Amino acid sequence: MAFPAKFYRATKALAMAAFFLLVAAACSAEVYEDDPVEVVVTDGNEVSETYEEIIVEIKGAVARPGVYSIPKDKRLNDLLELAGGKTDLSDMRSVNLAKKLRDGESYVIPAVGEDPLPSSMPSDEEGKLDVNTATREQLMEVPGIGPATADNILRKRDELGGFKTIEGLLDVDRIGDKTLEKLKEYLEVG
């Protein structure tokens, strides 16, 4: 018994619809910040590399300002290249292109004649700010610390004569366990 041509066309249409639905579902799959992202680089040979991505913003005198996903271990120079590089108006004298990128941060490339932004937080080799020597302004550069929390940290630091451990921040108003976990990425007790 031969199948009519209509049956083959209907079967083919159903198969194609199923294929497109599967592709659409795969493309819309959520990628979580902590999940490694696999990248396949082809250069005649296939190489597979796994890395974590962070989301950062670059603005100011750059070719393509915006928000970008970039591997976690990259530097400001890498982000600038991803954003198309500097413009003719860029004033690079005050920009630290070797600065490590941090998730959720915004980086500004100043234009000639603009006042450069305050210098970045002083850091050790890990890029962490010492909570016992930080100024109010430096503390406020840390994600999650606003003016009131910075004032509370300084007040408690003066009361205690300095923090002995990073967990001492739990004694500061407005800092709980969840906030402390986030702050540990940026702060240390030196």
Give the CATH number for residue 153: 1.10.150.320
Identify the pLDDT of residue 29: 40
pLDDT at 46 over 60: no
Is 133 among the domain residues? yes
What pTM was estimated for this model as a whole? Answer: 0.42
Query: Is residue 36 domain-resident?
Result: no
Q: 138 and 178: one domain?
A: yes
Verify that 140 and 184 share a domain, yes or no.
Answer: yes
Does some domain include residue 74?
yes
Q: Is residue 172 in some structural domain?
A: yes
Residue 75 lies in a domain: yes
- Identify the sign of the CA torsion 75, 76, 77, 80: positive
**Element of type H or E holding 145:** none
pLDDT at 40: 46
If one counts the domains in the chain, the total is 2
**DSSP state string for 156-178:** HHHHHTS-SSGGGGGGSTT--HH
Window from 81-85, 118-122, 134-138, 164-168 with minimum mean pLDDT: 118-122
Mean pLDDT of the chain: 77
Which residue range is the domain that position 57 belongs to? 50-109
pLDDT of residue 172: 94
pLDDT band of 99, cuts 50, 70, 90:
confident
Q: Do 103 and 150 lie in a common domain?
A: no
pLDDT tens digits, one per residue of 103-146: 888 888 888 877 655 444 444 445 688 898 888 888 988 888 98
The answer to whether 53 and 37 are in contact (CB under 8 A) is: yes
Query: For position 88, which CATH number holds?
Result: 3.10.20.90
pLDDT > 70: what percent of the chain?
A: 67
Using pLDDT thresholds of 50, 70 and 90, give the confidence band for residue 4: low
- Residue 58: strand pairing partners: 66, 107
For residue 60 the two structure tokens come to 């100011």
Specify which of 18-27, 48-57, 105-114, 132-141 reaches the highest per-range mean pLDDT.
132-141
